[in-house]
């Protein structure tokens, strides 16, 4: 059974701080990893994808992948109240299967 685990939170950070969101996955065959943002009652929106070990930066977001530890993280710098949402981590195998496995998500609250 493939699992993606996330702390449900809520993670509360002050405006301007760095928010750190973490995710672990069980399937060593996973090759692609994604972070989605989901506002309450809305659909998921892809914010980052990462495929190789190390860091990938996009604006205020940095995704980090450590395949040996089966660990993915998302850092949000200069957090804004508008970043308050649930962040979903997802993994996907390669090898022709494109079925993603989602975690339950971590609720982030950025307070002014």
Site for another protein, rule CB under 8 A: 32, 42-46, 49, 88, 90, 92, 97-105
CB nearer another protein, residue 3 or residue 15? 3
CB nearer another protein, residue 34 or residue 79? 34
* 56 and 48 Cβ atoms separated by less than 8 Å: yes
Strands 106-111 and 85-93: what pairing?
antiparallel
Q: Which of 13, 9, 33, 27 is nearest to 106 (CA)?
A: 9
Is residue 101 classed exposed, middle or buried when 0-12, 13-18 and 19+ CB atoms within 10 A define those classes?
middle
CB of 46 vs another protein, minimal distance in Å: 6
CB of 94 vs another protein, minimal distance in Å: 8
CB nearer another protein, residue 2 or residue 67? 2
């Amino acid at each position: 059974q493939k699992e993606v685990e996330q702390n449900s939170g809520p993670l509360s950070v002050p405006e301007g701080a760095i928010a750190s969101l973490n995710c672990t996955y069980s399937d060593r065959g996973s090759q692609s990893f994604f972070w989605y943002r989901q506002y309450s009652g809305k659909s998921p929106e892809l914010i980052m994808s990462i495929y190789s070990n190390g860091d990938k930066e996009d604006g205020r977001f940095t995704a980090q992948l450590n395949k040996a530890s089966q660990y993915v993280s998302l850092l949000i710098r200069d957090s804004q109240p508008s970043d308050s949402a649930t962040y979903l981590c997802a993994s996907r195998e390669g090898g022709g299967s494109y079925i993603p496995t989602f975690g339950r998500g971590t609720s982030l609250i950025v307070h002014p």
